[in-house]
Amino acid sequence: MGYSIRFRKRFMPRSFADLSAMVFMLLAIPSVYWFEVYVVGPTIYNRTLNILHVIVGTYMVINIIGNFMAVIAVDTSTQGLVLPSQVPPGWHVCANCESTAPPRSRHCITCNACVMKKEHHCIFTGCCVGLGNHRYFYIFLFLMWGSTLYCSFLNSFFIWPYVGGFNMWAFVRLVLPGVWLLLEPSLDTLYAFLFSINVIGFLFMSVLMYYYTGLLIMNMTTHENNHRKGQKYDHGREHNIKVTLGERWYWTWVFPTLSSPLPYDGLDWSLQSGEKSVRPKTK
C-alpha cells in the first residue's frame, strides 16, 4: 500500500521563531519577484526578452509558493492513523505520544507528534518535513536554488550604478545591506538589499541542496545519517529517488498538484537484500 495524502488541521506555526521565519519567506518571495519583474527585467532586457523573463518568472514564483504551501498543508504525522497496540518488529514505543511508532518515525517536540520518515523540523514552514511532504520541500529547495542563482547573476549587471560603481565601499554596502538600509533608507538601498538577499539566499540554498540531495539519493534522513542508521534502506538511486519524489518523479518538477504516488505508506519499510524485512508489503 502506498502513501495516502492527509492534510493538517492546524496550519499556523506553534512557535514565535517559526512564525517569524514563515512571515519572512512569505514577504521575501513576492518582494524579490516584484524586484526582478518590474525593476531589473525592463532595465536589462529588450521588450521580447523581458516578456519571456516575466512569463518564466511568474511560473517559477507560482511553483515555488505552491510547493511551499504544500509542505505546510500535508500532514506527515501518525496522528489519526490506526496503529497496532503491540510493538511489531522494527517499531518502537513513543513515550510522548504513548503509542507505538513505525520505523523511521521520530517525535517532534515542536509539532507534538510522531512524524513518519522524519527529515527535520523546518523553521520556515513551521512544520516537520517527513514522508508526505518531503517531495514538496525538496522541489521548493531546488526551485529556490535555481531562481536565486539566476537572479544573482542578472542583478550583478543591474546593481552597480545604484551603489556607486564597483569599489570597496559598494562591496561593504552589499555585504551589510540591512545596516545600510537603516542608515540611508532610499530606493537605491532597497535595491541593494534585495540584491544581497538573492546572493545570500543562493549561498544558503547551495549548501542545503548539496546536503539534502546526498541524503535523497541514499534514502536517508538527517537523523539516520548522523547516527549511521540509514544504509539499510538504500535500494539504489532510482528507487531512492522514488521514495521521496514518487513513482512519477519526472513530473513533480512541473507543478505541485501533479500526482506522483509514493511506494511506501510510512508504516512498513523493506530493508536491503539479505536483511530481514519490516512487515514486507504485498503487491
- Residue 91 domain-assigned? no
Mean pLDDT of the chain: 87
pLDDT band at 234 (very low <50, low <70, confident <90, very high): confident
What are the tens digits of pLDDT across the range 262-276?
999 999 887 765 454
- Residue 95 domain-assigned? no
Total domains, the chain: 1
- Residue 141 domain-assigned? yes
- Residue 25 domain-assigned? yes
Domain boundaries, position 28: 16-77+130-251
What are the tens digits of pLDDT across the range 64-91?
999 999 999 999 999 989 899 899 888 9
pTM score of the predicted model: 0.89
What are the tens digits of pLDDT across the range 119-150?
999 999 999 999 999 999 999 999 999 999 99
Other C-beta atoms lying within 10 Å of the C-beta of residue 233: 23
- Residue 152 domain-assigned? yes
- Residue 256 domain-assigned? no
